[in-house]
Amino acid sequence: MKGVAAVSRRNRRGGLRRFAWRWRRSPLRRRTDVVEAWLGLVTVLLLCAVPLLGWWAGQSVDRTLQRAVRAQRAERTLVTAQRVAQEPASHGPSGAGAGAAAAETDARRAERLRWTAPDGSSHTGKVPVDLEVWAGDRVRLWTDREGALVPPPLDSATATTHSVLAGIASGASAAALLLISRRLLLWRLMRRRLDVWEREWARVGQDWGRAGAGG
Q: What pLDDT score does 120 carry?
A: 87
Q: What pLDDT score does 26 carry?
A: 63
Q: What pLDDT score does 93 carry?
A: 47
pLDDT (mean) for 108-136: 82
pLDDT (mean) for 156-162: 93
Q: What pLDDT score does 138 carry?
A: 83
Gap between the Cα atoms of 114 and 104, Å rounded:
20
What is the band of 105 on the pLDDT scale with cuts at 50, 70, 90?
very low
Q: Are 131 and 138 in contact (CB under 8 A)?
A: no
Q: What pLDDT score does 16 carry?
A: 53
Element containing residue 80 per DSSP (H, E): strand 77-83
Q: What pLDDT score does 168 carry?
A: 96
To the nearest whole percent, how much of the chain has pLDDT over 90?
27
| Total residues found in the chain within this entry | 215
What is the band of 24 on the pLDDT scale with cuts at 50, 70, 90?
low
Q: What is the pLDDT of residues 29-76, one digit of tens each?
A: 677 777 888 888 899 999 999 999 999 999 999 999 999 999 999 999
pLDDT over 90 (residue 13) = no
pLDDT (mean) for 108-133: 83
The pLDDT mean for the chain works out to 78
Gap between the Cα atoms of 129 and 122, Å rounded:
20
pLDDT over 60 (residue 1) = no
pLDDT over 50 (residue 151) = yes
